[in-house]
Structure 1
Amino acid sequence: MSNTDAWRELFLRAPCGLVSTDSSGTVTAVNDTFLQMAAASRDDVLGDYLMRRLANGSKLFFETRLMPELRSQGRVQEVALDLLLPDRSILSVFVNAVVDTAADEPLIRFAIFDATGRRNYERELLGARRTAESSEARLRILQRAATQFAAAATEKELGSVLAEAARSATDASQVSVYFVGDPGEGGGRPGELVLAFGDRSSSERLSLADDAPEAETVRLGTPLSCASASEIRERFGARAEALRLARIEAFMALPIVDGSEVVGVLFCGFGRPRTIEPKTVDVLGSLIDQAVVVRQRIALQQLMQFQSLHDALTGLPNRLYLQGMLARVLEPVDSRRRAIGLLFVDLDGFKAINDALGHRGGDLVLREVSSRLTDAVRLGDTVVRLGGDEFLIVCDDVDADSIVGVALRVGEAIRSPLGGSAHGLPLSASIGISLYRGSDDGHATATADVLIRLADEAMYESKRGGKDRHTLVVV
């Protein structure tokens, strides 16, 4: 065996992980021991960033402490990091690193040792001290946040609790929480970050394509930090001026991750240079984990509330929603007269369609009718599905002419030829209208039940008159 082969064999089989990277941290060479430690293939590791193999807290430490010290001192020794393995488990390691300037371009040589045993031993020795110095404070923050999280009913309330807890954990001068909004209309514009809580300098909305630290954190899905104003200027260019004006000289931003989806970002800004410690990241990570669970609960409650007030087939408001809405619009408002109109819509010919196409085909027709009704009414009018082929439309602030105009548009929309398997099958609507003109003193003299009953009776009058028409009753 030649000397070259012997050295290569020693590199590959060394009892510790050996990794070479360029100055940016991109892996250029790796031995078998590290591949076994990281549970990765050579193709996966070569050309990738070494930092991507680290757990979240270690990523921040690697970027804010290890790499700057390497650049300034040329070497680091026994730095404790956590490798994130493919099964999401953690492998504790110690790292020695040196900058090798003998090559054509400077390389960084890493020696990586499995430190599981040693780290566990040290943790046991330092357990009492850590409990006394940090665990109690952290527990108080988490317990207080848990109590406040339990009362949060909206994303804005959730953002406020998370931001205040993060401020307590970090002493940050400025804290903001953003959640990812819906993509732009048409799908051509990027999505947005919508502010749930922030200080005065926080933007209400940020494009995910923005060069802001918050947007970049969401795009990358990894924590992001800058320890000084010069580092901010170097990394964010023009955006650094906005941070300077907000008196932020250091920051950290952590993604809010639900499962595999980044749903938001927590941003903590500091008024002086600051190196973020891994334990601080751990506390914020725990707060974010709590917030994610609460956000899931809020979303579920909102979904349940929506489902309780909306028709499952068409997505339109249902009878329960209607009762609450009419109770509100019929409440005393002011001294002026206020007219409210109800259109009771019953489909003519739907039973024949349902018999011909079956329930599935009938359901498709009801969905199409729902869409047509929504398009035919005025902005601000509400279309409700009462059940079967009956709908109710609530029109606020109307007169006889305008509500009849709505009825005519509704009738025309229903008569339009149906699509799909229902094409050629006739469909029309018998409409009953009850128009309540209000009272001079602003107090309702008619109830919701009365107005619905009158509209229903007017609809039956339209049926008896030959269908496909409307009948108006003024209260």
Structure 2
Amino acid sequence: MKKILKEYQFYDSFNELAIDILALAKEILPEGFLFLSAFTDKEQHILKVAENKEEIHINEGAIIPLQSAICTRINFTEGKALVYEDISKEESLGDIKNTYQSTNVNAYLGVPVILRNGEVFGTICAVQESATTFNSNSIKLIEKLAKMFSYYLELESMAYRDHLTGCYNRYFLERFFNQYTKKEGTIFFMDLDGFKKINDQLGHEAGDFVLKEVSLRIENVIQQSTLNGAVFRLGGDEFIVNLSNINKETVEDIANALIRNLSSWDFHIKDFRLSVSIGIVTYSREKQSLDDLLKKADNALYRAKASGKNTYRYF
């Protein structure tokens, strides 16, 4: 799902650890030009570059389209390093070869950074100006560094995620708004209608299943809209969606899509009339506290419930 933010930017000590990881990698491959990258659906982002003396034109903060990135040839399924010892001889690289040689790169080592759930974060890469042979022991050590870094990323992510649904949690919501309340956006405060009956009559296992399914449906609605957004679970059957810079017509399209997707059930809970009520509040660049915004959204949610449920209301 696309998000307004890059989650890792909120991790404690991310920058410090990224620098340390590259410093350790530099000890293993002192002649290499080392950098750490992260992927989005379409791009490779160069996050950190180690101090280097090589004349290689890869800069921290650079963004490379994935179709032009050599890293896309890494076998992420098996998690194996990719090695090109002499790019000038690699005819299979096509236009990618010309791109990398134009940055003064002729040897490449790419080690994937993958979480245990299979999610790909990015790579630790070592490149050099001249063709070179990468020592197998050095590659194994870089792979161990990548695994250590993935453990750190996973632990940080767990601190920000709801363990049941995988949505962001209230703790992350607070951090998010501490940094982004100056941007324009819209909050959707959602509460499920009829959820208590499912828990009471079918048990908490069925309730947990419903909450997981609800979170997936919310994510799908936002993803299909191609908007930048983030989904949070406050607790129980309360969810928050935050979207940035959208007009009223789009807000209403999203609200209707959420209601439609969360009120249609074709399996064992269909007789419980599960639906959703939504309170909507927009905020501008004027500084507002998270508590104020949630109170406003909760007020709108209360009016949606009072008007018959399975609908939305603005603050």
In structure 1, the gaps of 5 or more residues are 1-149, 169-173, 186-192, 210-214
1:166 alignment partner AA: L
Please state how far the C-alpha of 1:422 moved relative to its aligned partner: 2.4
Structure 1 position 205 matched with structure 2 position 50: no
2:302 aligned to 450, 460, 465, which one?
460
Structure 1, residues 87-137: CA drift from partner, whole Å, max 9, x if none? xxxxxxxxxxxxxxxxxxxxxxxxxxxxxxxxxxxxxxxxxxxxxxxxxxx
Match of 2:11 in 1: none
Structure 1, residues 263-305: CA drift from partner, whole Å, max 9, x if none? 977565647xx8x7xxx94xx83x5555444333321221121
Match of 2:166 in 1: 315
Residues 252 and 269 in structure 1, CA contact (< 8 A), matched pair in contact too: no
Please state how far the C-alpha of 1:349 moved relative to its aligned partner: 0.6
Distance 1:401 1:254 in 2: 45
Structure 2 CA distance for partners of 1:152 and 1:349, relative to 1, 3 Å: same
Distance 2:159 2:221 in 1: 25
1:349 alignment partner AA: G
1:435 aligned to 282, 285, 289, which one?
282
- Give the aligned CA root-mean-square deviation in angstroms: 4.7
Please state how far the C-alpha of 1:390 moved relative to its aligned partner: 0.7
Structure 1 position 356 matched with structure 2 position 201: yes
Match of 1:153 in 2: 17
Classify the secondary structure of the residue corresponding to 2:261.
Answer: helix
Structure 1 position 324 matched with structure 2 position 167: no
Residues 81 and 143 in structure 2, CA contact (< 8 A), matched pair in contact too: no
Classify the secondary structure of the residue corresponding to 1:342.
Answer: strand
**Residues 189-228 of structure 1: pairs in structure 2 closer than 5 A:** 199-200=56-57, 204-208=69-73
Residues 188 and 242 in structure 2, CA contact (< 8 A), matched pair in contact too: yes
Structure 1 position 470 matched with structure 2 position 312: yes
1:344 alignment partner AA: F
1:390 aligned to 238, 241, 257, which one?
238
1:454 alignment partner AA: K
Classify the secondary structure of the residue corresponding to 2:29.
Answer: helix
Structure 1, residues 387-428: CA drift from partner, whole Å, max 9, x if none? 111111223224544433332222122111x24432443111
Structure 2 CA distance for partners of 1:354 and 1:220, relative to 1, 3 Å: closer
Distance 2:38 2:231 in 1: 30
2:229 alignment partner AA: D
TM-score, normalization: structure 2? 0.65
Distance 1:382 1:256 in 2: 26
Structure 1, residues 162-202: CA drift from partner, whole Å, max 9, x if none? 2475235xxxxx656799989x99xxxxxxx9988693389
Greater RCO (CA < 8 Å, at least 6 residues apart): 2
Structure 1 position 374 matched with structure 2 position 219: yes
Match of 1:447 in 2: 289
Residues 345 and 430 in structure 1, CA contact (< 8 A), matched pair in contact too: yes
Please state how far the C-alpha of 1:315 moved relative to its aligned partner: 0.9
Structure 2 CA distance for partners of 1:205 and 1:353, relative to 1, 3 Å: same
In structure 2, the gaps of 5 or more residues are 1-13, 59-63, 115-122
Please state how far the C-alpha of 1:205 moved relative to its aligned partner: 2.2
Distance 1:452 1:389 in 2: 15
2:268 aligned to 413, 416, 421, which one?
421
**Residues 37-186 of structure 1: pairs in structure 2 closer than 5 A:** 153-154=17-18, 158-159=21-22, 162-163=25-26, 165-168=28-31, 175=33
Residues 105 and 130 in structure 2, CA contact (< 8 A), matched pair in contact too: yes
Please state how far the C-alpha of 1:219 moved relative to its aligned partner: 10
Structure 1, residues 348-368: CA drift from partner, whole Å, max 9, x if none? 111112223221111111111
Classify the secondary structure of the residue corresponding to 1:429.
Answer: strand
Residues 348 and 429 in structure 1, CA contact (< 8 A), matched pair in contact too: yes
Residues 316 and 370 in structure 1, CA contact (< 8 A), matched pair in contact too: yes
Structure 1 position 298 matched with structure 2 position 162: no
Structure 1, residues 227-272: CA drift from partner, whole Å, max 9, x if none? xx9xx86xx56779979999899x79798999xxxx977565647x
Match of 1:3 in 2: none
Distance 1:247 1:397 in 2: 40
Residues 344 and 390 in structure 1, CA contact (< 8 A), matched pair in contact too: yes
Distance 1:167 1:413 in 2: 54
Classify the secondary structure of the residue corresponding to 1:383.
Answer: strand
How many residues of Structure 1 are paired with residues of Structure 2 in the alignment?
272
Classify the secondary structure of the residue corresponding to 2:272.
Answer: coil
Residues 281 and 297 in structure 2, CA contact (< 8 A), matched pair in contact too: yes
TM-score, normalization: structure 1? 0.46
Structure 1, residues 191-218: CA drift from partner, whole Å, max 9, x if none? xx99886933897424538xxxxx9xx9
Structure 2 CA distance for partners of 1:448 and 1:178, relative to 1, 3 Å: closer
